[in-house]
Amino acid sequence: MTKRAKAGRTAKPAKKSARPASGRNAIAASIDALPEGRYLLAVSGGRDSMVLMDAFAAARPAQVAVVASFDHGTGPAATRAADHTRREGERRGLTVVTGSRTGRVMSDGADAAKVQAGEEEWRRARWEFLNAQARELGATIVTGHTLDDQVETIFMRIFRHAGARGIAAMFAPSPIVRPFIRVPRDDVADYAKSKGIKFLEDPTNASMRFLRNRVRHELLPAAERVQPGISAELIRIAERAAEWREIVADCADILGAVDVAIKPGQGDEGTLSVAIPAPALIGMQRELLGVIWPELVARAGGSLDWRGLARLNGEAGILKAGSEIPIAGGLSVMRTPTSFVVRNQGVDGPLY
């Protein structure tokens, strides 16, 4: 087992500076602020990710391991976007790889449940591809998410009754690098216009079938009209939530949480596991367990909904050594003579 050092946790998004740059300067400053590395650029063909690719090509081309695009198999628009990314990436001298999935185009009359299931399937397939490419190349994934994307995500998380862990959204520590997470979407648009960057609009961005689009075009503007400045307040709430997550992570370290290293040949090479001494949790108040269990599951690369948390709170304390509690999505908690071990056999899931 290996101790997870505080400094070794996944990276934190950069704090907002007192006098942030704006427009094209904000884009350049965001790329310049990244450490030396080997990067995989996740590019969809849309404006934000095309700006990401252009900025990297201009400032740090040697550090771009690959540009990765993904054709979701949802119709001609998705294929055109992947082809556009390939052409523009190669024109800038970058290596481009394209993943794809086969699937049906969702009908306009699809109900909300089918729409959500379709979004989740597209997202899962895309992240499996990105993670596989990043592992193969030893690269860090970079996305073009902006400050506006963060506001929309926070809004949706609150809409879905998320707690502090979820409300932190993309401010939470993550292995994914998001250099534009403090950059407003308007600044990205200004950069694209000034540089004449060619991009494609995803036709699904105008469809009100998708929650994010309803939030972007209807709900958030309405909320701003009723309570001006609510977007800035959501950002401040997410910042505090991210700080709270760091405190919880420190507590898990103090309790003895460790990553379990899987040795080659043990048969669990596809499993990510995190262990914590059993005495640290046995007898702990349910309220505290409700904070620690999600942290341990997150370290194993998973997430825990209220059903899984209720099951762990109810059963883990009476679990005998050698027994295991299945949760969901390849996640389980096993009891050894000395520890609780969170095991995740579905580690290719999206890391947001």
Chain-centre distance of CA 307, in angstroms?
22
Q: Residue 22 has what pLDDT?
A: 66
Phi, psi of 351, rounded to the nearest 5 degrees: -105, 25
CATH topology of domain 2-241: Rossmann fold (3.40.50)
String of DSSP letters for 32-43: HTSPS--EEEE-
Contact present, 41 and 142 (Cβ < 8 Å): yes
Q: Which of 322, 164, 155 is nearest to 241 (CA)?
A: 164
Structure tokens at 84: 């556009």
Helix 185-195, helix 23-32: angle, nearest 10: 100
Low-confidence spans in the chain with pLDDT less than 70: 1-23, 102-119, 261-271, 346-352
Q: What is the pTM of this model?
A: 0.84
Structure tokens belonging to residue 321: 């050594």
Distance CA 295, CA 248 (A): 7
Helix (H, G, I), strand (E, B) or coil at 45: coil
Helix (H) or strand (E) holding 96: strand 96-100
The pLDDT assigned to 317 comes to 85
In this structure, are residues 41 and 61 in contact, taking their beta carbons and an 8 Å threshold?
A: no
Distance CA 127, CA 68 (A): 11
Buried b vs exposed e over 285-307: b needs ≥16 C-beta within 10 Å?
eeeebbbbbbbbbbbbbbbbeee
pLDDT of 102: 60
The full set of domain ranges for the chain reads 2-241, 256-344
Q: Which two tokens stand for residue 122?
A: 């597209």
Distance CA 104, CA 101 (A): 10
- Residue among 177, 119, 123, 180 nearest 148 (CA): 180
pLDDT (0 to 100) of residue 10: 58
